[in-house]
Amino acid sequence: MIYSFGEKEKERLILNPTIKINQFDGNQLFVIEGKLSYGRTQSIKEVLIEAIDHESPAYVFDLTELKAIDSTGMGLFVTFLKYIENEKQVHLIIQKGFIKELFHIAKLDQLFIISENIEDCKGESG
């Protein structure tokens, strides 16, 4: 499934987030592209919460094509944790240094498994 949010077609690829929901190595995969910021997260949150596969052993967020994120966008991932079972792992694939640094500064690297490559998530479910 692919979900796109935003109004200006010209800015869609750069600013408006797109979410693709798939499977990877038996885990639910969310690929998020674009910009996660204030004013864009509520509709994304609703799609994510509705799409949660509670049978999935773990969850993977591929953020390699995420262009920018603010505190509201980072809060989206914390909110996601409230809707899944505590013992399940959540992996974040982040390659951009500045985005990885924001997660580190916010200490969210203590809540999520952060990797640079989706292959690092293979066989690490629960």
Region of 100 on the Ramachandran plot (φ > 0 left; ψ -120 to 50 alpha; else beta): alpha
In a domain, 78, yes or no: yes
In a domain, 70, yes or no: yes
Domain harbouring 62, CATH code: 3.30.750.24
In a domain, 126, yes or no: no
* pLDDT of 10 over the 50 cut: no
Q: What's the pTM?
A: 0.85
Q: Model confidence over 12-70: pLDDT tens digits?
A: 445 678 899 999 999 999 999 998 988 878 888 899 999 999 999 999 999 999 999 99
In a domain, 89, yes or no: yes
Residue 39 tokens, joined: 């004013």
Task: Give me the number of domains the chain comprises.
Answer: 1
| Tally of CB atoms within 10 A around 5 | 18
Domain span holding position 66: 34-118
